[in-house]
Structure 1
Amino acid sequence: MAFSGARILRLYPPLIACLVLYYAMGMIGIPGYPQFQFWQVIENGLLLKISMHGPSATIQAEVLVIPFVLAAWLLRRYLGLPGLVMAFIYAMLALEFSRLAFNLPNMHAYLFAFMAGMLASEPLLRPLIQQAPASSWWLALVVLIFCRTFHPHSSLIALVSMGLSAAFLVAGLLYGQRGSLAALLEGRCAQALGRISFSLYLLNVPVLYLLWAFTDAMTWTKTYALEAGLLVGLISLLLTWPLAWISERWIERPSVAWGRKFSATVLARFGRPSAVPVAT
């Protein structure tokens, strides 16, 4: 309960702020800019249906996966590492059999990535991660980018490869040998980008549609599609960055603080879960 409440308080406020901005920009009446009904703001904001902000489907998945994460945690507590491995296999089977994910929206495609993330934090696997050379993290990053860029998005092999590469990369950066990639990600620019990444992920949508409302009417953007795409992406980043900074400073930080306070209150009121034997 504490984890679920804190997670929801972390995710919802920045999303709702983004949707309100998106809706308000549509109300201005810019030609070519999407317009929405207010009920769509409510519907998408509650993550009942992704009707206006496509990338928020991943946030919907983060909420819907909570019971699966709890089940995997219980398996790990009672059965040890084999229980967590079984949860990962179950998630892999759900890729082609969505009923295993109870037909929840997109959960059959996302569940295995969450289970891979739990494996990445598994203490029993850390010695193996620590033995890998630091250059392995660059290789994992290259594989991740290659699968995302050059393979069809519908490819199950590419999807699984991306999930496993991402889990390996995260585990390596957390517990593995330090290297040039870790040093790069600990730099000031990478840290600044990381702090605003969630809001940047959300707010780039209304900003991109604003740019597309103008560039779609230009002929040169169709003739030079690659150059136009890179230019629009750069302008979108420059415009979205200050909005994301404001969102991170005045919405994300308070929502994280509310989540921590809620979690502490629940744990103080009901106590921490009693310890259960861990399989060895």
Structure 2
Amino acid sequence: MAGRNASLDGLRGLAAVSVVFYHAILHHEVLVGTTLIQPIQRMTTLRDVLTKIALSVFNGNNAVLLFFVLSGFVLALSLEKSSGTPLGIGSKFVARRLCRLYPALFGCMAAYYLLSLFYAQMGWAGVPSPNARAATLNALLLQITWHGPSTTIQAEMLAVPFVLAFFFFQKRFGSVSALVLFSLSVFAMAQPVFVMGAPHMSAWISSFAIGMLIADRRFQPFFSSVSSLTLWLLIAAFVVVRMFVPFNLDGSTLGQVILCAALVGAVYYGDQNLTATRVLANPVCRFLGKISYSFYLINVLFLLILWSLVDPLGIYPTHALETGLFVGTAVITLTLPFAYFSEKWLEQGGIILGRLLTTAHAAPQTAPAPAE
């Protein structure tokens, strides 16, 4: 892209915030079976209805699908600007992804390990016991046992070969091939062999694929004339539709992936003066979008701290919604400054390092010898 798209940044930022509230409300997993998975028409009490509405507004699963669609979309736009041989393009892409994702993750896991040491020293419960091996394996994305959101970061790395294959295939054979590859990614939901058994990728590869698909400029006309009403309806559908269907169906996931793609396409290609687009592009949402990766990583530490303080009160099982909203608000407030500094130093440092490692520097030319 020529620059960061403010509206997409805002969309990403709001999705990151929703993940915090989602996990804060679902802290006690009993709600997964009674409220999250069941459609709203099966709720029997007012509390269940209100909790279901909150879990739909702050739907972390939908947010993760949106993150992956955005990744596929942005990575495709970035690859379009690449030049050189397939090997050169691929090696630069891999190096930059490593430098983009790992520094902030390493920083988060180091802080997590220090937090576990502190809790162990104080004799407090609520944080895993210190385990340097587990922290290291998690930081390297080899074994996710400490930090749950790292599963999605692992997916970002596992998606790299698929993203490259999709890009080169689409570049060689055009948009029709992109539709074919997206169709194959849908079949992967039931047939993990299509993704060579990579963890969780059978459920998520379609999100990357459709994001790359709509990044093709030939799809721009489908989105460029979107009206303000249509965009608001897409946002409403993104939030509401999954409320009325069983949560764990493949069809429900696929429908949400398509809604994510439609929303990303409409926000990016549509009129940037639409009301919804301007709301997404406001400074607060843009800031949240800019720090969203570090925010997504670090909020877990503050969730653990707040849970360790709130759980002894015994109010979560009976008042999960109210307690979750309170905890989520506190976690967001505490996470913001740490995410800001992580983005500024670790993320940006990694991006700069990636550019330095992958930018060819011309050898200095010696001045020509003076004519005799």
Q: Secondary structure at the match of 2:207?
A: helix
Task: State which of 85, 94, 99 in structure 2 corresponds to 1:9.
Answer: 99
- Give unpaired runs (5+ residues) of structure 1: 270-280
User: What's 1:216 paired with?
Assistant: 311
Q: Provide Cα deviations, 1:32-60, integer angstroms capped at 9, x if missing partner.
A: 22224101111111111111111111111
- 1:90-129 CA distances to partner (integer Å, 9 max, x unpaired)? 1000001011110001010110000010012111110111
The 5 A counterparts of 1:143-182 are 143-147=237-241, 151-178=245-272, 179-182=274-277
The runs of at least 4 aligned residues of structure 1 exceeding 3 Å deviation read 147-153
Aligned to 1:112: 206
Instruction: Give the TM-score normalised by structure 1.
Output: 0.90
Structure 1 range deviating more: 165-174 or 6-15: 165-174
User: Counterpart in 1 of 2:360?
Assistant: 265
Shift of 1:131: 2.5
The partner residue of 1:207 within 302, 305, 309 is 302
SS of 1:43's equivalent in the other structure is helix
Counterpart Cα distance in 1 of 2:115 and 2:207: 34
Larger radius of gyration: 2
Q: Which residue of 2 aligns with 1:194?
A: 289
Q: CA deviation at 1:147?
A: 4.8
- Equivalent residues of 1:31, 1:213 under 8 A apart: yes
CA contact (8 A) 1:141 1:166 kept: no
Does the 8 Å CA contact 1:34/1:209 hold for their aligned counterparts? no
Q: Which runs of 5+ in 2 are unaligned?
A: 1-90, 364-372
Q: Note the 1:1-280 alignment, pairs <5 A.
A: 1-28=91-118, 29=120, 30-147=124-241, 151-178=245-272, 179-265=274-360
Deviation readout 1:242-261 (Å, 9 max, x if unpaired): 11111111111111111222
Give the distance between the partners of 1:199 and 1:152, measured in 2 at CA: 32
Q: Percent identity?
A: 32
Shift in CA distance, 149/60, structure 1 to aligned 2, threshold 3 Å? farther
Verify the 8 A CA contact 1:134 1:176 in the aligned structure 2.
Answer: no
Change over 3 Å in CA distance of 1:261–1:140 after alignment to 2: farther
- The number of aligned residues is 268
SS in 2 for 1:105: coil
Cα distance between partner residues in 1 of 2:339 and 2:242: 24
Report SS of the residue matched to 1:137.
helix
**Displacement after TM superposition at 1:177 (Å):** 2.2
Alpha-carbon distance between aligned partners in 1 of 2:292 and 2:251, rounded to the nearest angstrom: 27
Question: How well do the aligned residues superpose, as a CA RMSD in angstroms?
Answer: 1.8
For the residue of structure 1 that corresponds to 2:264, the secondary structure is helix
Structure 2 residue identity aligned to 1:225: A
2:317 match: secondary structure:
helix
Moved more, 41-50 or 215-224: 215-224
Cα distance in 1 for partners of 2:248, 2:256 equals 12
Query: Which structure exhibits the higher relative contact order, with contacts defined as CA atoms closer than 8 Å and separated by 6 or more residues?
Result: 2
Distance 2:243 2:346 in 1: 32
Structure 1 position 145, deviation (Å)? 2.1
Alpha-carbon distance between aligned partners in 2 of 1:144 and 1:10, rounded to the nearest angstrom: 28
Greater mean alpha carbon deviation, residues 173-182 or residues 130-139: 130-139
- Shift of residue 151, structure 1, vs aligned partner: 4.9
Partners of 1:24 and 1:197 in 2: CA distance:
23
Separation of aligned partners in 2, 1:139 and 1:42:
44
